[in-house]
Structure 1
């Protein structure tokens, strides 16, 4: 039975099992990896949704060529350069698949990826599926080597905080999420050309309410391109609203895991005020954004360090 999502007061029937969603910005030279991966898929009930985040290269012309010859439907949307999080919200809103699979514009996946996702989902008893957000799996590099840590069990039902703090599992992971759940947990509608919005802002909250099933199957092929991470020297030049929200989310939702990873939460508290100062948020606004007394006390105790870090950033 297909679900019937409500979008803009109009009921839209899911037509496919999967919407493979690819946000892209000036990646015409790598986008072929996704296309070739999808052409090779052994499971065919999917669409490819490409959201062009204001590219200035020939992405649009390339997609138009593929739309003429692809053995699967391709939908294309262009937005002003607003960030992956805005593209993600759009994709969740218009997806015609029951599940969204985010495959970045510089990566690939194994031919059996969608088929295995479907098989793992079908292993969950039908009466229990409404409790889950989706399936998460491992990644491999271009040589077939597993990236990051394996899960201690496979399958294993858990959530992001448990995985990150208690089990201390790190490294690239990948997955599929229920479309209706993504609509329930959108990214903040905050836009900016230099804005970075960490995905933990959504996944931290989402998997607390809807746990995921984790499997030790490496289905995504991850290409290492020297990802642009924010560093001390770049704090002052970045739009840090996303980092403020990320650290705020950590303090508001994960603080019950403090004793598993105290250093992580100490850093989050200091970086919360650090990012807030870069954003120009008044201290009262910052502390009021924290929802528990424990989070506020931790933020307050690390406020001097946050000031020091902020001051040092502005002197770079």
Structure 2
């Protein structure tokens, strides 16, 4: 079951794109904040981008607000209105297929960015030596909150070359970040329909898969996104029962992809993940075999089976 939900990386024919960036905004009940996103995109100093909006079955007036924005906007806007809510990961994968920009940048419907954000991303990529560009999959920057205070850790150097798994798990560089990924790389993510039909799959599955495939992210200590704190983004908010399947799938994928080579670098991380997987099993109607047939590591499998009888006490 879980193995079927883990995406794969299979190279597809490359595509030529019309724009440098696709700025993708998933919307769910964001009538009060989507105008703010539009206004900061209009102010961008770098103009070679499209704005791709997917309204994920909003129940407020988001559709009317977006329609009004489109009528007056100078931007190239591609708007999709899903009649039913599909959840964020489904919208994300839908957007990748629709994107017509070299670089894919997710920009939530309740945030802002600085006026030269796209320019900084583009110039940073252009500064990378040509012999390294094939291995570079993404560029990621820092965030500040609406008060101008940095949200999350800085990187030890700028630029800093790493990947999502190593920077977060091994180096423990935590907190909100923001960046783009090459669209042609994202188009190589192949998944079972169940991956999106079950909903609430975390984006981390995608980023860690790219890390497993050897793609490097360039991290820069420049704050480009203004992350509004204390504001709930309802497209991604949910409780543990709803997210249990996606979280468990990601934990199993991380064991399969990274445990063998990284356990000694981050033993606490994997031990905690074993605990979390056992705890999540309380919210899923799967028997032990569903887990053991999906976990590759004999060590993880052994301890998971050993601890299975006490999982009910892990709340």
**What TM-score comes out, normalization by structure 1 length?**
0.87
1:51–1:121 distance in 2 versus 1, CA, 3 Å: same
2:4 matched to which residue of 1? none
Could you tell me how far apart the structure 1 residues matched to 2:173 and 2:64 are? Answer: 41
Q: Does the residue aligned with 1:149 lie in a helix, a strand or coil?
A: coil
1:274 matched to which residue of 2? 279
- 1:284 paired with 2:289, answer yes
1:187–1:226 distance in 2 versus 1, CA, 3 Å: farther
1:308 matched to which residue of 2? 313
**RMSD, aligned α-carbons:** 2.4
Q: Does the residue aligned with 2:147 lie in a helix, a strand or coil?
A: coil
- 1:56 paired with 2:59, answer yes
1:186–1:39 distance in 2 versus 1, CA, 3 Å: farther
1:262 matched to which residue of 2? 267
Q: Does the residue aligned with 2:81 lie in a helix, a strand or coil?
A: strand
1:157 matched to which residue of 2? 161
Structure 1: state its 5+ residue gaps. none
Could you tell me how far apart the structure 1 residues matched to 2:169 and 2:104 are? Answer: 26
Q: Deviations over 1:280-315 (max 9, x none)?
A: 122112111112223323433443443322xx5xxx
Could you tell me how far apart the structure 1 residues matched to 2:243 and 2:41 are? Answer: 34
Q: 1:147 aligns with which of 142, 148, 151?
A: 151
Q: Offset at 1:50?
A: 0.5
Contact 2:25–2:107 (CA under 8 A) maintained in structure 1: yes
Could you tell me how far apart the structure 2 residues matched to 1:226 and 1:105 are? Answer: 11
1:188–1:26 distance in 2 versus 1, CA, 3 Å: farther
Q: Deviations over 1:76-107 (max 9, x none)?
A: 11222111100000111110001110000111
2:70 matched to which residue of 1? 67
Q: Deviations over 1:42-95 (max 9, x none)?
A: 000000000111101111111122212212211111222111100000111110
Could you tell me how far apart the structure 2 residues matched to 1:18 and 1:230 are? Answer: 27
Q: 1:85 aligns with which of 70, 74, 89?
A: 89
Q: Does the residue aligned with 1:240 lie in a helix, a strand or coil?
A: helix
Contact 1:250–1:268 (CA under 8 A) maintained in structure 2: no
Could you tell me how far apart the structure 2 residues matched to 1:276 and 1:39 are? Answer: 46
Contact 1:270–1:302 (CA under 8 A) maintained in structure 2: no
Structure 2 counterparts to residues 64-143 of structure 1, below 5 A: 64-79=67-82, 80-143=84-147
Contact 1:270–1:303 (CA under 8 A) maintained in structure 2: no
Could you tell me how far apart the structure 2 residues matched to 1:301 and 1:121 are? Answer: 48
2:21 matched to which residue of 1? 18
Q: 1:250 aligns with which of 246, 251, 254?
A: 254
How many correspondences in the alignment?
299
Structure 2: state its 5+ residue gaps. 1-10
Q: 2:41 aligns with which of 25, 30, 38?
A: 38
Q: Does the residue aligned with 1:254 lie in a helix, a strand or coil?
A: helix
- 1:168 paired with 2:169, answer no
Could you tell me how far apart the structure 2 residues matched to 1:112 and 1:186 are? Answer: 33
Q: Does the residue aligned with 1:152 lie in a helix, a strand or coil?
A: coil
Q: Offset at 1:26?
A: 0.3
